[in-house]
Chain A
Amino acid sequence: MKESPVSAWHSLLADLGPTEHAVQLYQDDDFFGHAVSHFTAHGLLKNEAIIIVATKPHWENIAGRLTNKGFDIEELRRAGQLTLLDADETLPKFLVNDMPDGRTFKGIAHDTIEKARANGRYANVRWWGEMVNVLYVEGNGQASTRLEEFFDEVAHQESIAIFCSFLMDKFDRQVYDGPLQNVCRTHGHLIPSEDYSQHKECVDRAVLEVFRGMESQLLHWLGNSKRWSGPEMPGSQALLLWLMESKPDIAGRVLALARHWENTSRSPRERPS
């Protein structure tokens, strides 16, 4: 399991504090597992309680990485520091007509957090879950967003750190038609990519190419981008979101080119099949 170079998201996830709510967009299991195990490992090292709500394949990915980092999964579960819930089994408990029932969900969430605190043995709690992603991948975006809103409320009520992972392509034009904006609305931090430098390089290159000969116009637009607001994220991702909002036709071309440059900059071995 290859670990990527250090990026700003490492320190963000390592130090994610109570009430903070972060999300990663991923397309490959390597980045997914790297980020979740990093978030989990740092919580464990800080003697925080960890709640993981995962599908079975993803739990195997996370557990393998934690074991490689030297953690004894069974011992952590026995000691009560690590709570594991199955995402596919937990979801139906609070879904009514394909929509999450807030009261039932919050009841389950509060009970789980209370147990995880173990009568004060663990002052801080970290929660990573993918039920919102399961709903999104199944095509139920509305339920996914609603559940994310409930999670955000719980994070503030319980003062816990929450980290989510979405199987979402940051250069896909379609995710900018609402899904990504919903993700931004319900999270405080967005991690769009494993490699921020590469993300910036691809976006900058694409923007310069699309605006070739129109540099003055670009500067004029950029100069008026001040009012755009969103969660904390790398500047290159914020630029894409702003561009999509203010110049959607141009943004589509920028996204396509950025993806092209991303694919070009990867070695053939690393390219997704």
Chain B
Amino acid sequence: MSYITESGIPDIGKIPWGSHFCQMYSTRGDLAQSVIPYFMAGLINNERCIWATSEPYHAEEAAADFKKIVPGLDTMTEEGRLRICGYNEWHTREGLGTEHWLEEEQRSLREGYEGLRIAANTSFVTPADWDAFMQYERDIHKRINGRRVVALCSYNITKIEPTNAFEMVRAHQFSIRRNNGFWEVLGSDG
């Protein structure tokens, strides 16, 4: 089994399993141009993919855009290879905990997938929930290290305060942001 997998995100390249990284995005286009290729790479690599969406890129829009590029989306969804859902659907059903992600990883491996690939847009987090959400992020950070999981957390950088941006960066292994049309990696450990 490989220790790395293709991120699919232009300019980023391969990432190790257990990667938990954040994306600073400004527009819906930033999301479309990074998260869709991210999941395409996961599907090509036989990974189980879960995308928890939120404003400004909702599940229906994301699925419609995906369909234009990837044929057979409905079949993949039916097979459980790809799930695109709203954050409320995911968090209401699964709760805000790390354990279920690890259970999903185990289930994916049992079912013959290479691992689990996750992306979540965090724009639903309210200021009142911020501290708890950061605690959840730090927990994920610790728990998925060494697991067959890669997790991409998208943060709308136009709406985030400096302190929150600082905390966000520190709760992930590295960050990516769009700079002059290219995605660049910031704060990588190695």
Contact = CB atoms under 8 A, between A and B. Distances in A.
Interface of A: 8, 200, 203-204, 207-208, 211, 216, 218-220, 222-228, 234-236, 238-239, 242
Given A207-B162, A235-B164, 20 more contacts: A203-B162, A203-B163, A204-B161, A204-B163, A208-B161, A211-B162, A216-B179, A219-B24, A219-B157, A222-B162, A222-B166, A223-B186, A225-B166, A226-B170, A226-B174, A226-B187, A227-B187, A238-B167, A238-B170, A239-B162
B131 A8 contact: yes
Specify the main secondary structure of chain A where it touches its partner: helix
Contact of A204 (B131, B162, B170): B162
Interface in B147-190: 157, 161-167, 169-170, 172, 174-175, 177, 179, 186-187, 189
Nearest to B158: A215
Contacts of A211: 162
A211 B161 CA distance: 12
A135 to B, nearest CB: 32
Contact of B169 (A8, A226, A234): A226
Nearest to A206: B162
Contacts of A218: 162
A223 B169 contact: yes
Interface of B: 24, 131, 134, 157, 161-167, 169-170, 172, 174-175, 177, 179, 186-187, 189
A190 B174 CA distance: 26
A10 to B, nearest CB: 14
A86 to B, nearest CB: 39
B163 A239 contact: yes
Nearest to A254: B162
A169 to B, nearest CB: 19
A235 B134 CA distance: 11
Given A8-B131, A219-B157, A235 B167 contact: yes
Given A203-B163, A204-B161, A225 B179 contact: no
A223 B168 CA distance: 9
Contacts of A220: 177, 179, 186
Contacts of B163: 200, 203-204, 207, 234-236, 239
Given A8-B131, A219-B157, A224 B186 contact: yes
B166 A239 contact: yes
A218 B161 CA distance: 11
Contacts of A224: 186-187
Contacts of B165: 219, 222
B144 to A, nearest CB: 17
Nearest to A239: B166
Contacts of A223: 24, 169, 175, 177, 186-187
B135 to A, nearest CB: 11
A27 B172 CA distance: 35
Contacts of A219: 24, 157, 165, 177
B123 to A, nearest CB: 17
B72 to A, nearest CB: 37
A225 B187 contact: yes
Q: Which of A216, A225, A228, A235 has the most chain B CB within a 10 Å cutoff?
A: A235
A239 B189 CA distance: 19
Contacts of A238: 166-167, 170
B169 A225 contact: yes
Task: Give 3 nearest A-B pairs by CB, closest first.
Answer: A223-B186, A226-B187, A207-B162
Contacts of A207: 162-163
Nearest to A242: B166
B2 to A, nearest CB: 25
B27 to A, nearest CB: 15
Nearest to A197: B127
Contacts of B186: 220, 223-224, 226
Nearest to B172: A226
B142 to A, nearest CB: 15
A153 B24 CA distance: 42
A218 B131 CA distance: 22
Nearest to B189: A226
A76 B53 CA distance: 57
Nearest to A223: B186
15 contacts: A200-B161, A211-B162, A216-B179, A219-B165, A223-B186, A224-B187, A225-B166, A226-B170, A226-B175, A226-B187, A227-B187, A235-B166, A238-B166, A239-B162, A239-B166
